[in-house]
Amino acid sequence: MESAEIRRRWLRFFEERGHTVVPSASLIADDPTLLLVPAGMVPFKPYFLGEVKPPFPRATSVQKCVRTPDIEEVGKTTRHGTFFQMCGNFSFGDYFKEGAIKYAWELLTSSVADGGYGLDPERLWVTVYLDDDEAEQIWRDVIGVPAERIQRLGKKDNFWSMGVPGPCGPCSEINYDRGPEFGVEGGPAVNDERYVEIWNLVFMQYERGAGDGKEDFPILGDLPAKNIDTGLGLERLAMILQDVRNMYETDTLRVVIDKATELTGVHYGAAHASDVSLRVVADHMRTSAMLIGDGVTPGNEGRGYVLRRIMRRAIRNMRILGATGPVVEQLLDVVITTMGQQYPELVTDRKRIETVALAEEATFLKTLRAGTNILDTAITETRSGGGTVLSGQNAFQLHDTYGFPIDLTLEIAAEQGVSVDEDGFRRLMKEQRDRAKADAKAKKTGHADVHAYRSIADSSGETEFTGYTSNAGEAS
């Protein structure tokens, strides 16, 4: 089943059951605690909190989402994209646990002929929060899921909050068993790749306060009403229904991988490392297009920095795959054509998106060229002095002054038989980061979805962006 059909069925199913269809909001969150939208519930947050009276008791949407904290997973797990689409159904003080569980089961397991997704019920495992006897009882007694396919998990998995003050609650997740080729048995509590999480049903009934970070979960009290917020990853369901091994091989992303192959001559399936690069390219180019489409432009802070990092990672991976010249125009073309079917504004806006992306590519290629010369000189000097280790100071300066990614430094150095004092490099990075943290503390800035930038900067070597520490989509 194509992604477009998955979406159509979702919206039709819930519309037929009294839900108002709400179009996806922009990725740029209309919420001061978030830079980008990480979940389908974001546009509905004021309804959950009781700040605004909902204009309808039920809603459904397919929301564009970006989760930068997942960036290091991309291409390595089978199921994490920086961009993905979250199908959701929402109840604002209307139906609660039993209603949400019944709808989810019906849609997943009813036959394709009957408008469902036709999943084999025997392959579905569910999780509930530690003390949620009520949810477990509904799964077991109302739906008939055998007790051995119901597992209880703790806060990290089964208590949802966005990582910032706001609505939260215990959740129940539906996972699909992809079979022994994906690893050992034992359910989602044991193996989250084999038993892949597809749908999270959040029983949104509490409000979370600020606290002092991730481990702390101060519940301020009950929300005005008991609500439902669910999220199903469209790409994850597509991966199952299209019978492919990971989300990057589904219809809307595979075409980008194929274009990258055409541009580099590296075939998908040739080697693990190049496969990871191809998957990163596909994911990151799509995310870049979607971000630029929603009005983000590359820059050194906030959303602009997220976009810059993601785009540069895509370009760098193309170079690791062997590309030497510009690649963005052709990759972008495939993304826009494919995603444009669901998001026609990408097509209308094609020229602007291209202009922004191509300018960023040109700037980055210039950076790479400058850095490469400096690095070559440093390597030559190291070797002529009889050394085999490039100093941490050299690597740090390349990164700090020229924005030259550390992994590229490592790679080029290795090609020339020189290693890099990585400990020294990390020490200098840490010193710089500590300074930045102190600065940020002084400024009291804070957004929820940017702790990952730090790790991007660490792995790619740039540190313009400073100061954010927390996480988004953290629980789940």
Q: Could you tell me which residues come within 8 angstroms of residue 384 by beta carbon, excluding any fewer than 6 positions away?
A: none
- For the segment 338-377, give every residue that binds Mg ion (CB under 5 A): none
- The CB-of-317 to ligand ATP minimum distance in angstroms stands at 18
**Which of 104, 346 has the CB closer to ligand ATP?**
104
**Which of 84, 468 has the CB closer to ligand ATP?**
84
8 Å CB contact between 41 and 65? no
**Which of 74, 260 has the CB closer to ligand ATP?**
74
Strand pairing report for 195-208 and 150-153: unpaired
**Which of 62, 336 has the CB closer to ligand ATP?**
62
- The CB-of-65 to ligand ATP minimum distance in angstroms stands at 7
84 binds, among Mg ion, ligand ATP, none (CB under 5 to 8 A by kind): ligand ATP
Gap between the Cα atoms of 95 and 234, Å rounded: 23
Burial zone of 215 (CB within 10 Å; 0-12 exposed, 13-18 middle, 19+ buried): exposed
Distances (CA, A) of 140 to 98, 99, 122, 136, 157: 12, 14, 13, 6, 20
Beta carbons within 10 angstroms of residue 23's beta carbon:
8
The pattern of x and - marking residues 185 through 224 that bind Mg ion according to CB under 5 A reads ------------x--x------------------------
DSSP state of 28: B
136 binds, among ligand ATP, Mg ion, none (CB under 5 to 8 A by kind): none
**Which of 139, 404 has the CB closer to Mg ion?**
139
- The CB-of-35 to ligand ATP minimum distance in angstroms stands at 16
- The backbone torsions φ and ψ at residue 20, rounded to the nearest 5 degrees and listed phi first, read -80, 130
- The CB-of-180 to Mg ion minimum distance in angstroms stands at 22
79 binds, among Mg ion, ligand ATP, none (CB under 5 to 8 A by kind): ligand ATP
Element (H, E) at 205: strand 195-208
75 binds, among ligand ATP, Mg ion, none (CB under 5 to 8 A by kind): none
Q: Is 85 in the site for Mg ion (CB under 5 A)?
A: no
Q: Is 82 in the site for Mg ion (CB under 5 A)?
A: no
Binding site for ligand ATP (CB under 6 A): 67, 70, 79-81, 84, 86, 197-200, 231-233, 235-236, 473, 476
- The CB-of-268 to ligand ATP minimum distance in angstroms stands at 19
**Which of 109, 476 has the CB closer to Mg ion?**
476
428, two tokens: 């200098």
**Which of 103, 364 has the CB closer to Mg ion?**
103
- The CB-of-80 to ligand ATP minimum distance in angstroms stands at 4
**Which of 90, 199 has the CB closer to ligand ATP?**
199
- The CB-of-412 to ligand ATP minimum distance in angstroms stands at 31
86 binds, among ligand ATP, Mg ion, none (CB under 5 to 8 A by kind): ligand ATP
Q: Which of 151, 466, 470, 476 binds Mg ion (CB under 5 A)?
A: 476
The amino acid present at 7, given as its one-letter code, is: R
Element (H, E) at 443: helix 422-443
Beta carbons within 10 angstroms of residue 405's beta carbon:
23
The amino acid present at 109, given as its one-letter code, is: T
Q: Could you tell me which residues come within 8 angstroms of residue 4 by beta carbon, excluding any fewer than 6 positions away?
A: 341, 342
Instruction: Identify the bridge partners of residue 159 per DSSP, sorted by sequence position.
Output: 170
252, two tokens: 């809307």
Q: Is 158 in the site for Mg ion (CB under 5 A)?
A: no
Beta carbons within 10 angstroms of residue 381's beta carbon:
13
Q: Is 151 in the site for Mg ion (CB under 5 A)?
A: no
First to last CA, the chain: 27
231 binds, among ligand ATP, Mg ion, none (CB under 5 to 8 A by kind): ligand ATP
204 binds, among Mg ion, ligand ATP, none (CB under 5 to 8 A by kind): none
Which residue in 232, 14, 41, 16 sits closest to 124, CA to CA?
Answer: 232
Residues 414-444, buried b or exposed e (16+ Cβ, 10 A)?
eeeebebbbebbbebbeebbeebeeeeeeee
**Which of 33, 127 has the CB closer to Mg ion?**
127
Gap between the Cα atoms of 241 and 115, Å rounded: 14
Instruction: Report how many residues bind Mg ion under the rule CB under 5 A.
Output: 3
- The CB-of-200 to ligand ATP minimum distance in angstroms stands at 3
399 binds, among Mg ion, ligand ATP, none (CB under 5 to 8 A by kind): none
Q: Is 161 in the site for Mg ion (CB under 5 A)?
A: no
DSSP state of 26: P
Distances (CA, A) of 205 to 151, 157, 230, 260, 417: 22, 17, 13, 45, 59
166 binds, among Mg ion, ligand ATP, none (CB under 5 to 8 A by kind): none
**Which of 200, 227 has the CB closer to ligand ATP?**
200
| Footprint of Mg ion (CB under 5 A) | 197, 200, 476
